[in-house]
Amino acid sequence: MNKTHDNKAWLFVLPVVALVAFNAVIPLMTVVNYSVQETFGDNVFFWAGVTWFEQVLQSERFHDALLRQMFFTFSILAIEVPLGVAIALTMPRKGPWVPVCLVLMALPLLIPWNVVGAMWNIFALPDIGLLGRSLNALGFDYNFTRQPGDAWFTLILMDVWHWTSLVVLLAYAGLVSIPDAYYQAAKIDGARPFAIFRYIQLPKMKRVLTIAVLLRFMDSFMIYTELSVLTGGGPGNSTTLLSIDLVKIALGQFDLGPAAAMSLIYFLIILALSWVFYTLMMRNEQQ
């Protein structure tokens, strides 16, 4: 049988192509152009070759920021994913408490990011903040504006508070889609709660958890606003992640060339890691 091919459908894709070209492809091309040149302003550029890439790749500053970024990303993933799943498991699936829980969970996601940063900054101040004062009253020597360890603790706590909800909501969506028949069958077989989790709930949540891990992974690599308001990358450079360092180079020092080179390396790292994550998780799903 001959199928009719109607290529008119391609026309409907054109608006998206135009949109992506204007907001992604053209700016990205410009960044590539900047990354091989030097400028002193006035739109005058001088050819610099791959100097900036070499400089960024061999600089200790970039290596440190990248290591800090990796540490941050894997720490928050290790906390937020299990915690989110655990909270989703304890949430009611029927009854009047469902909307209450859902709204409570969605609240942190609705707060503007700079407000989250400001809130946590004030909350954690050692002299007037509730968290800071309480910790000091309990005998801890806590000061996130001076001690790197405390700054990291506050940063990770803030991210967990802000974003665990996303994992909870996604995991919960996966959980409620499981038909009752599965639980009834498990009950007849005398399955223990852990077996139910391992063989029914976890496999059914796999797809949404894949999305949750990917989203959290990419977003944590791009964290800027909350971090910039909370610590600004300090004390010293101790919480300077890639995005903060990039803005310092691009806007603070106005080194467009090195900043462009760093942006491209940053972009390639996110792209590669996301691809690896996605491929691994999809492969596990197929098996």
Partner 1 sequence: MGLSWMAWTWPTAAFFIFIGLCFVAMSVWEYADPGGGPRHGILGLDTTRGDRLFISLLGSAFIFLAWLGLMGTPLWAPLALALVYAVCVFRWV
Residue 33 touching partner 1 (CB under 8 A): yes
Residue 41 touching partner 1 (CB under 8 A): no
> Closest by alpha carbon to 167, among 219, 130, 128?
219
For 153-165, b/e burial (b = at least 16 CB within 10 A) is: bbbbbbbbebbbb
Residue 251 touching partner 1 (CB under 8 A): no
CB closer to partner 1, 45 vs 197: 45
Q: CB of 156 within 8 A of CB of 72?
A: yes
Q: CB of 149 within 8 A of CB of 235?
A: no
Residue 37 touching partner 1 (CB under 8 A): yes
CB closer to partner 1, 119 vs 265: 265
For 61-71, b/e burial (b = at least 16 CB within 10 A) is: ebeebbebbee
Calpha distance 216→164 (Å, rounded): 9
Q: In this chain, which of 104, 236, 268, 285 binds partner 1, going by CB under 8 A?
A: 268
Residue 177, classified by CB atoms within 10 Å of its CB into exposed (0-12), middle (13-18) or buried (19+), is: exposed
Residue 47 touching partner 1 (CB under 8 A): yes
User: 46 forms bridges with which residues in the sheet?
Assistant: 38
Q: CB of 174 within 8 A of CB of 204?
A: yes
Residue 271 touching partner 1 (CB under 8 A): yes
CB closer to partner 1, 39 vs 225: 39
Residue 4 touching partner 1 (CB under 8 A): no
Q: CB of 221 within 8 A of CB of 270?
A: yes
CB closer to partner 1, 122 vs 271: 271
Residue 284 touching partner 1 (CB under 8 A): no
Range in contact with partner 1 (rule: CB under 8 A) among 16-24, 54-62, 112-120, 232-240: 54-62
Total number of residues binding partner 1 (CB under 8 A)? 26
Query: Which residues fall within 8 angstroms of residue 261, CB to CB, at 6 or more apart?
Result: 35, 52, 53, 55, 56
Query: Least CB distance from residue 243 to partner 1, whole Å?
Result: 19
Query: Least CB distance from residue 261 to partner 1, whole Å?
Result: 10
- Report the interface residues with partner 1, using CB under 8 A: 26, 29-30, 32-34, 36-37, 39, 43, 45, 47, 49-50, 53-54, 57-58, 265, 268, 271-272, 275, 279, 283, 286
